[in-house]
Amino acid sequence: QSALTQPPSASGSPGQSVTIPCTGTSSDVGSYNYVSWYQQHPGKAPKLLIYEVTKRPSGVPDRFSGSKSGNTASLIVSGLQAEDEAAYYCSSYAGKNVVLFGGGTTLTVL
C-alpha cells in the first residue's frame, strides 16, 4: 500500500493554468477510473473536487478539471484565483477495498 506520487509544490500567477500530476502504478491509477481529487485549506477538512478522473460534483467551478494517461492522473486548475491557494490531494482505488492517497501538493498563487 504505497502512496501515490505528487510534487510537493506548484505555483502560478492569477489567471494562469497549473497542472498537478499524480503518479501511481498499473495496480491502482492505471487499472481503475476511480481517481479523485481533494482541496484542503489550512485547518479545514478536505473538499471533493473531482471524482472518476474527470467528473465534478455540483458546485465545483469548471476551472477545475481532471485527466488521466496510463498510470498518471492530473488535476488542471485554469484561471487561477487567490482562493485556489491550498493543498491538493489525489486518491485512487487500488482494488481489494484499498484507497491510496497522494502525498499532497501545495499550490501557491503568486
Partner 1 sequence: EVQLVESGGNLVQPGGSLRLSCAVSGFSVTGNYMYWVRQAPGKGLEWVSVMYGGGTTDYADSVKGRFTISRDGSKNTLNLQMNSLRTEDTAVYYCARGHNWGRGITHGMDVWGQGTTATVSS
Query: By the criterion CB under 8 A, which residues form the site for partner 1?
Result: 1, 3, 32, 34, 36, 38, 40, 45-48, 51-52, 55, 57, 87, 89, 91-93, 96-104
Smallest separation (angstroms) from partner 1 to the CB of 58: 10
The rounded distance, in Å, linking the Cα atoms of 3 and 78 is 26
Contact call for residues 78 and 94 (beta carbons, < 8 A): no
Alpha carbon of residue 76 to chain centroid? 8
Contact call for residues 91 and 100 (beta carbons, < 8 A): yes
Cell numbers at residue 28, please?
Answer: 491502482
Cβ nearer to partner 1, comparing 1 with 13: 1
Smallest separation (angstroms) from partner 1 to the CB of 63: 19
Cβ nearer to partner 1, comparing 17 with 52: 52
